[in-house]
Amino acid sequence: MRLRPLVAAFAVTAALVVTPASAAPAGRVLGYVANNGGGVSVIDTATNAVSETIADSGGSSPYMAAVAFDGTRGYVTNSVQNTLTVIDTPTNTVDKSVPVGKHPAGVAVAPGGGFVYVTNYDDGTVSVVDTATLTVTATVTVGQNPDGVVVTRDGTAVYVTHDVVGPSKVSVIDTTANAVVATINVGSTSTAIAASADGTRMYVVNKGSDDISAIDVATRTVVGTAKVGFVPHGIALSPNGTRAYVTNSEFDSVSVVDLTVMAEQQKIVVGDRPISVALTPDGASAYVTNFNSNTVSIIDTASNTVTGTIGVGQRPVGIAINFVPPAASKLVAGTAQLQVRLLGFTVRSLGATLTEKHTGAPVAGRTIVFRTVKGNPLCTATTNSYGKATCDAQVSLLVGLSTLLQGFTASFAGDNEHGGASAHGSITLL
């Protein structure tokens, strides 16, 4: 497991690079688990293991998590520090902590990633964060205990739940005016909310009435209700919009709801006090945070059975899963020395250094290929802990002195974590 501190990451000035040596690999599908006891656990869904933990030095109580639609940013609310932590997901480093309102809880990203909306539970407000400047540009008063939040598919409205005992409501914010334009009555003590992929429905979890409400976005009315387990808390929808997975926090289970008829199909037993749930982009797996077990349960959605359990941090609450592209890389080549031999050439100290563009951190354990400018192979080497790869090459006379004196090309093909890069280096006569 890799541990990275929550410290600010700064952009690195571009150097000689840099055209990708090949098309970027597919990237990774990562899960981000916000642990109320501190830190964000990053799950690689290909291995179902925690690949690293983003250590929490600036905000000791992350609460919910959401990842931007392009996968390059993550947002985590810190309910004690009253901040929103902004994570660069390809490198899993922190860019900034944005001050918001008191006791931030829910967070949602607008389509296109231009704005982030944060519910401030103790203030009765929603902070509107401009992602270009990472500043709060508006604060919208919505009423008591705002909790769950989601943005409509077209980005014109934000729906906010209210964690109020007894009959509850959902506030609708117009994103142009940044003002509440409607309220919708739902069940008791509403918490999480999710939007259907086609944008026509919102589904609200009502933990006080043990049910979920279906809201028609066009009419802003409740068009259906489905009973679930005891004290439901989180919800996630299948990509095809036919099923909802709802965590029952005091029933240690997840309800599978058929949304076409608004009826529970079955309950799946998970860990102790499940809170949130998220599905992989293909809908094949659901991941459930278990607050008291300090674990995440993995559900196979084809069979609706638990297929694995992952240990995470203390008191996991929020979870978001998204495709994350490889981090952009930078490769800088050095100068090699050419020695003429009787039957060929020796090129000594071919070298190049591979780093992350965003952070400047060295990238170790990657293969760098060295060639002449005409593509003749020279040698290959693996980057060390400083990101540097070096090797010597024995070269045939057929390659030609003039070709070697034109320099060399160093290239990194790229992988799921880091994108490809190339650079030109010099060769001088000894």
Instruction: Tell me how many degrees the CA angle 205-198-189 measures, rounded to the nearest 5.
Output: 10
Please tell me the predicted confidence (pLDDT) of residue 20.
Answer: 40
pLDDT at 246 over 80: yes
Q: Where are the beta strands (DSSP E) in 357-420?
A: 367-372, 377-382, 388-396, 408-412
Interval 193-221: pLDDT, tens: 999 999 999 999 999 999 999 999 999 99
> Taking Cα atoms as reference points, which of 41, 117, 126, 122 lies closest to residue 79?
122
- 0.85 surpassed by pTM: yes
Q: What is the DSSP letter of 325?
A: P
Domains and CATH numbers, the chain: 28-324 (2.130.10.10), 329-429 (2.60.40)
Residue reference for tokens 């919102």: 202
Query: How far is CA 17 from each of CA 357, 363, 412, rounded to the nearest angstrom?
Result: 11, 16, 11
The percentage of the chain sitting over the pLDDT mark of 90, rounded to a whole number, equals: 87
Asked if the peptide bond before residue 50 counts as cis, ω within 30 degrees of 0, the response is no
62-89 core/surface letters (b: 16 or more CB in 10 A; e: else): bbbbbbbeebbbbbbbbbebbbbbbbbb
> Taking Cα atoms as reference points, which of 194, 184, 187, 261 lies closest to residue 231?
187
Confidence of residue 60 (pLDDT cuts 50, 70, 90): low
Which helix (H) or strand (E) segment holds residue 426: the answer is strand 421-429
92 neighbors 54 (Cβ within 8 angstroms): yes
pLDDT at 4 over 50: no
Interval 116-147: pLDDT, tens: 999 999 999 999 999 999 999 999 999 999 99
Please tell me the predicted confidence (pLDDT) of residue 57.
Answer: 60
Please tell me the predicted confidence (pLDDT) of residue 106.
Answer: 96
Average pLDDT over residues 71-90: 92
Residue reference for tokens 């591979």: 354
